[in-house]
């Protein structure tokens, strides 16, 4: 729903929407949680990093990531609806940047 953050989400304090850099940092930290440190040591996570080609994220790990993002950002960021619009090939081809853009757009 458009408009400024309202009081209906009482848990989330009203704040300026996060910047792309802040969301990227958050996504990085959640990815470390999901995948584990040892693999990520040799992999830089940037906006053009692909979940499939670069990170070799398994489907169950992608689920874990979306669930963590849901916990972090709440229902304002509706991943399930977003992904429902894509077929499996499109989901697999996603980059970190596309995910960050989606989050930033949803929160602004």
Sequence-ordered list of residues with C-beta below 8 angstroms from that of 36, at least 6 positions apart, any chain? none
| 28 binding another protein? (CB under 8 A) | no
Taking CB under 8 A as the criterion, the residue among 63, 74, 98, 106 binding another protein is 63
Rounded Cα gap, residues 88 and 90, in angstroms:
5
Give the interface segment with another protein, choosing from 8-16, 25-33, 76-84, 93-101 (CB under 8 A).
76-84
DSSP one-letter code for 33: H
Residues at the site binding another protein, with contacts judged by CB under 8 A: 39, 56, 58-60, 62-64, 67-68, 80-81, 83-84, 88, 91
């Amino acid at each position: 729903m458009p408009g400024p953050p309202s009081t209906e989400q009482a848990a989330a304090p009203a704040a300026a929407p996060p910047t792309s850099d802040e969301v990227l940092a958050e996504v990085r930290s959640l990815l470390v949680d999901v995948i584990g440190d040892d693999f990520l040591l040799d992999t830089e996570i940037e906006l053009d990093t692909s979940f499939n080609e670069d990170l070799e994220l398994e489907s169950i790990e992608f689920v874990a990531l979306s669930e963590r993002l849901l916990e972090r950002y709440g229902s304002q960021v509706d991943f399930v609806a977003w992904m429902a619009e894509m077929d499996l090939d499109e989901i697999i081809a996603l980059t970190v940047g596309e995910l960050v853009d989606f989050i930033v757009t949803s929160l602004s």
